[in-house]
Amino acid sequence: MSNQQCVPCGIAIPQIFPDGHVDMGLVDRYVKRAEDLAYDSLWVLEDLIGDTPCLEPLSLLSYVAAITRRVKLGTSMVIASTRNPGHLAKEFATLDQMSNGRLVVGLGIGGRTREIPPITEGTLRLFGAPTEKRARHFIDTVAVIRALWEQPKPHYEGYFWTLDGETMEPRPLQKPSPPILFGGRHPGGLRRAVRYADGWMGAGNTTTEEFKGHVTIIRESLAKTGRDPTSFPISKRVYVALDEDEDRAERRLKQWYGQFYKAADRGSLVSVRGSASQCVDGLMEVVEAGAEMLMLNPTFDYMGQLDALAKDVIPQLRLP
C-alpha cells in the first residue's frame, strides 16, 4: 500500500454563497491555505443565471491567479456556447499568462435542450447560445480556440466560424496550449471528448455507478481511436461532506443541493459524506471506477473541510 501513488486531489473554490453574502475574505484565506496544503488544483464552475449568488468563473480565477503562485487553476466547466470563441480564446490566453502557465481549461456544451427546464433554455438564448446544431457549434468553438492558440496563421473553415490568417497575441504561456478538458455524460459527448479534448472530467451531479459507465465508454472510444489512455486523464468532481455525524452531513448537503440545483434529494445520491473513513471509502469507490484525479467540492464549513480533508482523507487515497 505504501508504494502506491496518492490520488491527486483538487478542490472547488468557494464561489456560491447561499446566504446572499459574497465573502471575498473567505476566498482569499481559502485559496492561500489550499496552496499551502499542496492541493493539486483549484476549480470554479459556471452558473450564469440563478437566484443563488455565484461569482463569474474567469473573473474569479483572475483574482485567484494573483494571490497564488503554484497551484493549478481550472474551470469545470465553462459553457463554451455562451461566449464568442475569439473572446473566450483571448480570456483564457490572458489568464494562462497571468497565472504563469497554471491554467486547465474545462469546457462544456451545456445540458441537453430537451432535458433542461425552460428557464435554462431561456438562459442559453439570452447569452446567444444555439438551440440547434449545438454539437457542431461546440466543435467549431474548440477548433477556433485551438487555431488561434496553436497556428502561426490561423485557418479554419467551420459551419459557424472561419479563420483566414487572423492572429491573436498574447497566446497562452503553455505550448501548444493549456490542457482542454471536456465535461459531458451523454455517450455522444463522451466520444466527442476522446476525439477533440485532452481529457475528461465527470460531473459532480452523477453517481459513482453512472461515472463508472461513462468511463467504460471513454475507454472503449480511446481503444477504438487508437489514443493512448495514459495521455488522456480522467477525473471527477465529487461533492463531499466530512462530518462524524453522517445525518447532519446529509442534511446540510441536501439543503445546499436544494437551493443551488433545486433537487435536494439528488444530493444524497451523488455525494460522499460522513466520517473520515466513510469519505475515504466513498472516494476510493470513485477512484476504482476510473478517476485518476478527484476534484473535491465541499458545500459548507469551507475552511474546516479544506483542512480536515487534507489531514484525514487525502493521504489515505491511493491509485490502484
Judge whether 105 lies within some domain.
yes
pLDDT at 1: 41
In percent, the amount of the chain with pLDDT more than 70 equals 95
> How does residue 111 score in pLDDT terms, banded at 50, 70 and 90?
low
> How does residue 116 score in pLDDT terms, banded at 50, 70 and 90?
very low
pLDDT at 125: 75
Q: Which domain holds residue 193?
A: 9-236
pLDDT at 48: 86
What is the Cβ-side half-sphere exposure of residue 267, based on CA atoms within 13 angstroms?
Answer: 24
Judge whether 73 lies within some domain.
yes
- In angstroms, the CA 201 to CA 188 distance is 15
> Is 90 exceeded by the pLDDT of residue 67?
yes
CATH of the domain at 182: 3.20.20.30
> Is 80 exceeded by the pLDDT of residue 4?
no
pLDDT at 223: 98
pLDDT at 271: 96
pLDDT at 115: 46
> How does residue 166 score in pLDDT terms, banded at 50, 70 and 90?
very high
Q: Express each pLDDT in 74-103 by its tens digit.
A: 999 999 988 999 999 999 999 999 999 999
**Mean local confidence (pLDDT), 42-49:** 93
Dihedral (CA of 164, 131, 108, 299) sign: positive
> Is 70 exceeded by the pLDDT of residue 219?
yes
> Is 90 exceeded by the pLDDT of residue 118?
no
Judge whether 128 lies within some domain.
yes
Average pLDDT of the chain is 94
Judge whether 169 lies within some domain.
yes
pLDDT at 318: 96
In percent, the amount of the chain with pLDDT more than 90 equals 88
Cβ-contact 86, 158 below 8 angstroms: no
> Is 80 exceeded by the pLDDT of residue 58?
yes
Q: How many domains does the chain have?
A: 1
Cβ-contact 47, 54 below 8 angstroms: yes
Spatial CA neighbour of 141 closest among 86, 78, 76: 86
Judge whether 278 lies within some domain.
no
**Mean local confidence (pLDDT), 100-126:** 73
Judge whether 279 lies within some domain.
no
Backbone angles phi, psi at 148, to 5 degrees: -65, -30
Judge whether 268 lies within some domain.
no
> Is 60 exceeded by the pLDDT of residue 135?
yes
Lowest mean pLDDT among 57-71, 115-129, 249-263: 115-129
- In angstroms, the CA 108 to CA 78 distance is 6
Residue corresponding to grid cell 473520515: 276
Judge whether 76 lies within some domain.
yes
